[in-house]
Amino acid sequence: QVQLVESGGGLVQAGGSLRLSCAASGIVFGLNVMSWYRQAPGKQRELVATITPEDMTNYADSVKGRFTISRDNAKSTLYLQLNSLKPEDTAVYYCATRRPYSGPESWGQGTQVTVSS
């Protein structure tokens, strides 16, 4: 029932930008904590950014100042603006959702971001 569909990934040169989107359904979007994770092959999944229903945000140290998470509750869509991209940002980026206060997470299928040097 919960469905998260990521889009916007692709191949970009170092220093470039991408904007990822996550279209959500099957949830009350405006009441959920939304997050972006990423995972490179053979690596552990890493939390990139989180945004609460109150629009409070948190970022991994590795992306602070470069990435921006935002949400459009009217469109039930989550965004991640990726600027100043580095090759080490290359990964599959996943959208996730949960209710506040440690509810279980649901995941999207991921979208590939590849940054070339």
pLDDT per residue as tens digits for the range 47-91: 999 999 999 999 999 999 999 999 999 999 999 999 999 999 999
Cα–Cα dist 75/103, whole Å:
23
Mean pLDDT of 99-104: 84
3-state secondary structure string across 58-85? EECCCCCCCEEEEEEHHHCEEEEEECCC
Has residue 103 got a pLDDT over 90? no
In this predicted structure, what is the pLDDT of residue 100? Answer: 86
pLDDT at residue 49 in the model: 98
pLDDT of 102 > 80? The answer is no
Written as six digits, the tokens of 110 are 């991921």
73: burial class by Cβ within 10 Å (0-12, 13-18, 19+)? middle
Distances (CA, A) of 7 to 19, 33, 67, 89, 99: 9, 19, 16, 16, 23
Give dist(CA 15, CA 21) in Å, integer: 20
Distance CA 37, CA 19 (A): 14
112 — pLDDT class (breaks 50, 70, 90): very high
Q: What is the model's pLDDT at position 11?
A: 98
- On whether the CB atoms of residues 110 and 8 are closer than 8 A, the answer is no
Strand 106-107 vs strand 111-116: parallel, antiparallel, or unpaired?
Answer: unpaired
Give mean pLDDT, residues 23-51: 96
